[in-house]
Structure 1
Amino acid sequence: MKTNLVNSTYLNFKNKTTQFLLLGFTLLTLISCNKKAEETPAVASTPTTETPEVAPANPPSNFKHATATVNGIKIHYVIGGQGDPLVLVHGFGQNWYMWNRLLPELSKHFTVIAPDLRGVGESDKPEGGYDKKTMASDIHELVNQLGYKKINLAGHDIGLMVAYAYAAQYGDSVNKLALMDALLPGIEPVWSNVKGSAWWFGFFAWPASGDIVKGKEKEFLTNFWPVVGHVKDPFTAEETTEFIRAYAVEGGTTAAFKWFGAFDQDGKDNVIFAKKKLKMPLLAMGGEYFAAAFLKDHSKLVAENVTESKIAGSGHWLVQENTAQVQKDLLAFFLAK
């Protein structure tokens, strides 16, 4: 079982490496172009009008934007709906707006809270605190300020790691947990195998990467998204604009890359957390063409009560690549008695 799991995971990620090499080539081209531009003698140019700043996207009409000060930093979130609280935590390459398609239906059943993680969008971008244990404490303090003692929780990608760290630290305050299409640093055998083949983890964690991508967030993200996706062009124009805007905010991409820079610490923390398995119901939701190959078995190493959802025809961007099934399966899981 372990051998098959490792092999399937390795092949899944190995097939993405060529695409990431193309992304790396694109980045190197951008660096080269920037260097040449700096070396070219200045010539007279016609005055240009600055591009107007793009306004943040808005959620459905029954939601509102809000901010809270937690752990000494500002966290932005949207909130709306009625019923028990459901906290949705986004991942890399997206922000709170990744959940926007689901908010109308989810808000009929839950009070939905979708924060921007520290480091992106309208949330603060401090120098440190990007280990997932600390990022989880941001969310926990937000939940406490809102007056909730117990929540349902879902996290995608980096948000999966934050959601797990939340449940591991504050298990008595989590009714149900959905982990969506990623993996947990330090939890073997998947972690070492993926880390060894996914060299982009290293690029994202490299301190200079933020300077390389700064000002080229559109080029970077539009090259990155297809690499881990399966459906062609799954994002709407509005989603594309908002995600690029959120990472183009001053310091955004640099800070978000620090989520990857903290993986070594996350791994140490997760090894300790995993000694006490989670007891709440856990839904392992993976895309057919991405994490579904390993996520259920991976989750069973840290939790006792695991069920699975394989999102048909989907790569990593589950919510956009198969919105209908994600919504259906999340509702079935969180509403089940």
Structure 2
Amino acid sequence: MNDPATAPRTFGNPVRDLPLPDLAGFTHRWVDADGVLLHAVEGGRPGGPAVVLLAGFPQTWWAWRKVMPDLADRFHVIAIDLPGQGHSERPDISYDTHTVAAHVHAAVEALGVSTYWLAAHDVGAWVAFSLALTYRSHLRGLALLDAGIPGITLPDAIPTDPEQAWKTWHFAFHLVPDLPETLLAGREREYVGWFLKAKTLSSDTFDDTETEHYAASVAADGGLRASLAYYRDAAESARKNHEALQQQRLTVPVLGISSSHGSIRDMAASIKPWADHATGIVVPDAGHFIPDEQPDAVAAALTDFVTEGLRPGGSMCQNRHPHP
């Protein structure tokens, strides 16, 4: 839990050219996360149960802006930009998810939090899965939202069926050396906009301002390089995941959050081979970007998940969130 007597040491914004949106009731912080400056947005109940949120490609912490106020009434809420994302530093490091997870956990500890629930979407869920394997004694629970996690829920081969290929084609494209940078530099808005429109159930989920925000983050000072690096280091992420899973299973309670029109049909079923306690829900009327498309449902699911874990002897062993 957060220790109110310990004030975190904070630093300046390393991505000053990128506009910084504010969220009422929340404060921007930058912390030294084991040598990498990470941006965190913190609010809610000081000293309350801590819930840490991670977003994925091509988004930033802003992906959780509609969920965070609903969680803030009960919990200490922290949304963190991953290395290379949003207003976090874009370091020249390995972007395999175990390396990144160490920096994320260091950021949480720098904010005075020792135990927490972790909820993550897309690439953020890649990092969260690896973090749970390494820092399981610090986690109370793990919620994973619609993510093809390397070596876990990501298929071994990219499908060629047009009905499925459009969901995962970019995994191969991002692996090609140099070509994505050549084609995308200066066209980040068009590229980011395609994902935000094509992967939502309703193509008008994101307005122009939101699209510009995410595109600017990718374009800013090494953001494109870092975004691609997560995919280029995915094979190393998968290798380290399996190496860790040879020694132990995922022991923290896991909630898989899928959606009616998402990329991974059943997150819970995909995670169960690796986890002792995995349950799931399917959020209706949503595509891949579930926190943007159905924020009330996500907030309710996370609240139930944390509340259950706080009960004496509480766990997610029994399926309290059945599939419809």
With the length of structure 2 as denominator, give the TM-score of the two structures. 0.82
- State which of 194, 205, 221 in structure 2 corresponds to 1:223: 194
Shift of 1:319: 0.9
Aligned position for 1:63: 26
1:219-244 CA distance string (max 9 Å, x none)? 11112222322222112444223212
1:191-244 CA distance string (max 9 Å, x none)? 214477533202122232123212211111112222322222112444223212
- State which of 200, 209, 215 in structure 1 corresponds to 2:170: 200
1:282-320 CA distance string (max 9 Å, x none)? 100011112452322111021111111101011101011
Aligned position for 1:105: 70
Residue 211 of structure 2 is aligned to residue 240 of structure 1? yes
Which structure has the greater CA radius of gyration? 1
Aligned position for 2:220: 249
Q: Which amino acid aligns with 2:172?
A: G
Residues of 1 paired with 2:27 and 2:159: CA distance? 38
Aligned position for 2:55: 90
Residues of 2 paired with 1:54 and 1:155: CA distance? 23
Residue 231 of structure 2 is aligned to residue 260 of structure 1? yes
- State which of 305, 310, 324 in structure 1 corresponds to 2:282: 310
Shift of 1:331: 1.3
1:232-271 CA distance string (max 9 Å, x none)? 2112444223212211212111211111001110110111
Residues of 2 paired with 1:86 and 1:323: CA distance? 16
Could you tell me whether the CA contact under 8 Å between 1:98 and 1:239 is conserved in 2?
A: no
1:167-190 CA distance string (max 9 Å, x none)? 1001111001101101221137x5
Residues of 1 paired with 2:18 and 2:230: CA distance? 25
Once the two structures are aligned, what percentage of the paired residues are identical?
Answer: 29
Residues of 2 paired with 1:122 and 1:54: CA distance? 7
Aligned position for 1:126: 91
Could you tell me whether the CA contact under 8 Å between 2:56 and 2:122 is conserved in 1?
A: yes
Q: Which amino acid aligns with 2:62?
A: Y
Q: Secondary structure of 1:301's partner?
A: helix
Residues of 2 paired with 1:296 and 1:194: CA distance? 21
Residues of 1 paired with 2:283 and 2:243: CA distance? 30
Could you tell me whether the CA contact under 8 Å between 2:31 and 2:37 is conserved in 1?
A: yes
Could you tell me whether the CA contact under 8 Å between 2:116 and 2:139 is conserved in 1?
A: yes
Unaligned segments of structure 2, at least 5 residues: 1-16, 312-324
Aligned position for 1:19: none
Could you tell me whether the CA contact under 8 Å between 1:120 and 1:249 is conserved in 2?
A: no
With the length of structure 1 as denominator, give the TM-score of the two structures. 0.79
Q: Which amino acid aligns with 1:154?
A: A
Q: Which amino acid aligns with 1:152?
A: W
Residues of 2 paired with 1:155 and 1:200: CA distance? 20
- State which of 191, 197, 221 in structure 1 corresponds to 2:155: 191
Q: Which amino acid aligns with 1:150?
A: T
Could you tell me whether the CA contact under 8 Å between 2:119 and 2:142 is conserved in 1?
A: yes
Could you tell me whether the CA contact under 8 Å between 2:55 and 2:63 is conserved in 1?
A: yes
Structure 1 pair 237/200, CA: closer, same or farther in 2 (3 Å)? closer
Residue 121 of structure 2 is aligned to residue 150 of structure 1? no
Residues of 2 paired with 1:260 and 1:320: CA distance? 23
Residues of 2 paired with 1:303 and 1:316: CA distance? 23
- State which of 296, 302, 306 in structure 2 corresponds to 1:330: 302
Residues of 1 paired with 2:144 and 2:230: CA distance? 17
Residues of 1 paired with 2:53 and 2:257: CA distance? 14
Shift of 1:144: 1.4
Could you tell me whether the CA contact under 8 Å between 2:260 and 2:282 is conserved in 1?
A: yes
- State which of 175, 178, 181 in structure 2 corresponds to 1:210: 181
Q: Which amino acid aligns with 1:322?
A: Q
Residues of 2 paired with 1:263 and 1:139: CA distance? 17
Q: Which amino acid aligns with 2:185?
A: K
Shift of 1:71: 2.6
Residues of 2 paired with 1:222 and 1:251: CA distance? 19
Number of residue-to-residue matches in the alignment: 283
- State which of 134, 137, 143 in structure 2 corresponds to 1:178: 143
Q: Secondary structure of 1:154's partner?
A: strand
- State which of 77, 80, 93 in structure 1 corresponds to 2:40: 77
Which has more helix, going by share of residues? 1
